[in-house]
Structures are given as structure tokens and as C-alpha cells.
Amino acid sequence: MSVRKLTYKVLGWTAHRLRGPLTAGTRVLAYHTVPQPDRYRRQLEYLRANYTLIDLDRFLAARRGREVLPDDAVLITFDDGDRSVLDHAAPLHRELGVPAVLFVVSDLIGTQTPFWWKRVENHFTLQEASYAAAREVVNHLKTVPNAERVAFVSGLTELSYPQLTREELTVLQDAGFAITNHTATHPLIDRCTLPELEDELDRAIAFLRDLPGGYPKVFAYPNGNSSPALDAVLREKGIELAFLFDHDFARPGQDMLHVSRIRTNTDDRLAEFKSKVGGLHPFLYQLRR
């Protein structure tokens, strides 16, 4: 057994038995894609057997002070709306009766437009760069002003990338997914000008208002980038609840516009997953910061 595997076995075992101060709050899991449905099934079955899986309405009611959640409540969320969520996660959620939240990038729905980082990765790997080198470009672009990133990406090799359609969002809703707001184009909002941010929110909210059962008031920060300076804009646009990507529990009393989530991958092996959802992995992560 590798050291990494053994470490996670120990962490997972310990975290599973740890309940209390480390784990005060709700576990809001933040996923992205679903490359290996078998591993994700094991995670869902583990959660069903050991935790209370809740939906967005219950989470909202609790945050509004209208409901008290059990200590072991878990809310599952997916960011971006990758097609693998429909292909691989939706059938499992439907079969197992597990609710979830999907944060979509509204301008991309029904198009062949790739997520902007996919276009960067594709362009540079076609130029024989390593995937790691391409990701370095992506990470650099997350730090520059929004208009600069948009101009840079628009000059790269075109890529056709089938996105979810509006009809497929309805299929996801039927499988238990609440569809919510992840902006119109997935900019880093702390790199946007005020008019750029307002436009992103207006377009995403208009899309969700038109979608029966959409949640225009619930937001996830792209890349987790938030800024207290932008809270007023979010509030002005009617956003009531916004999720971070900071690998922590959603603590009681946390500001509604800065609600923590635990970073998880659907292909995490069960021992690693247990250590994340159990609280030990997030705890060690917070210590390191």
C-alpha cells in the first residue's frame, strides 16, 4: 500500500469517528465533473448510509433560521454544469433519490462554446505544451483584469464543446438537481469592473428567472473568488446566498454571502473522501493556511 493511500486510510477512519467541534456546521460538498461514475456511486452510497442528505430548500430554510439541521447534514453541489453531470451523476441521483445543486454558466447553455479554461488547455496542448504548462497559463489568467483575459482567450484556437441544453437542465431538475447561478461566462468576479460584474449577474439571473424552478438568488463564486467589496452588488441584484470554494464546513452564523464548501472530487477514493467529509482533511487544510 502506498504512503498516500495509507495516510488517507488512517485519516478517513479517524475522521469518520470524529464528531464535534471540528465538524460544527453543514457539509456542503463542491464537485465539478464525473469521470468515473463507479467511484461516485460508492461515495453516494456511503453518504446515504452515514449522513443526512438535504436539498437546497432545506439548507436555505436553515440559513434563514426557519429550520434546524441535524449535525450530519450534507448538501451536494456541482459547479459549472459539465455534461458528465448529466451523463454520469444524474442517473445515480435519480436511482438513489439524492438531491443536489448545479451551478450553471448561463451564456453557455445550449451552445458549443467551451468553458474558457478548456479553450486555453486545448490551445496550448495542441502547441505541444504539457497539461501542467497549459494549466499555468490558466492560473495566470485568473489573476489579470477580466477584459485582458477575455481578449487573450478570444485569440486562441477555436474549440467546439457541447454544453448542456435548456431541455437537459429540465432532465437534471427531474433527477433532483436545483439549477442555480454561477454567472453568465465564468469570469473571476474580483477581476471584473463593476459594470462587467453587474452585466454578468443580470444575464445569469434573467436566464434562471426564465427557467421553471431555477434559483436566481443562490450563487457560487467562480473559482471561489469573492470580495467583501462586491457584497453590495450581489445584494442589489437580489442574491441571498453565495457559496465559496474554501474547503471548510458551512459554519453556523456564517455570513449568507460567504458560505463555505468542502472541495471534493467524484473520483476520490473512498478513504480520501471519508477524510474530507468527516472533517479531518478540511481541518488540516485550514491549519496549513
Which listed residue (187, 222, 278, 282) binds Zn ion by CB under 5 A? 222
Question: Position 102: which residue type?
Answer: L
Distance of CA 98 to the CA centre of its chain: 17
**To the nearest whole angstrom, how small is the minimum distance from the Cβ of residue 80 to Zn ion?**
4
Choice between 105 and 250, CB closer to Zn ion: 105
C-alpha cell at 67: 429550520
Stretch that binds Zn ion, among 155-163, 191-199, 215-223, 254-262 (CB under 5 A): 215-223
**To the nearest whole angstrom, how small is the minimum distance from the Cβ of residue 242 to Zn ion?**
13
Instruction: Identify the three-state secondary structure at position 110.
Output: coil
Q: Is 80 in the site for Zn ion (CB under 5 A)?
A: yes
Choice between 80 and 268, CB closer to Zn ion: 80
Question: Which residue, judged by CB position, is nearest to Zn ion in the bound state?
Answer: 79
- Tabulate helix, strand, coil % of the chain (nearest 5): 50, 15, 35
* Near Zn ion in 126-185, by CB under 5 A: none
| Euclidean distance between CA atoms 11 and 240, whole angstroms | 35
If you search the block for the grid coordinates 473522501, which residue do you land on?
A: 273
Question: Position 271: which residue type?
Answer: A
Choice between 223 and 254, CB closer to Zn ion: 223
| Interface characters, 58-77, with Zn ion (x: CB under 5 A) | --------------------
**To the nearest whole angstrom, how small is the minimum distance from the Cβ of residue 224 to Zn ion?**
8
**To the nearest whole angstrom, how small is the minimum distance from the Cβ of residue 225 to Zn ion?**
10
| Euclidean distance between CA atoms 184 and 111, whole angstroms | 13
Check if the beta carbon of residue 260 is closer than 8 Å to that of residue 250. yes
Q: Is 114 in the site for Zn ion (CB under 5 A)?
A: no
Q: Is 246 in the site for Zn ion (CB under 5 A)?
A: no
* Rounded (10°) CA dihedral 178, 221, 89, 265: -150
Q: At what angle do helices 280-288 and 270-278 cross, to 10 degrees?
A: 70
Choice between 88 and 261, CB closer to Zn ion: 261
> How many residues sit close enough to Zn ion to count as binding (CB under 5 A)?
3
**To the nearest whole angstrom, how small is the minimum distance from the Cβ of residue 77 to Zn ion?**
11
Q: Is 79 in the site for Zn ion (CB under 5 A)?
A: yes
**To the nearest whole angstrom, how small is the minimum distance from the Cβ of residue 220 to Zn ion?**
7
Contact residues for 171 (Cβ-Cβ < 8 A; gap 6+): 86, 90
Choice between 69 and 105, CB closer to Zn ion: 105
Indicate the burial class of 65 (C-beta count within 10 angstroms; 0-12, 13-18, 19 or more): exposed
Choice between 80 and 272, CB closer to Zn ion: 80
Residues that bind Zn ion (CB under 5 A): 79-80, 222
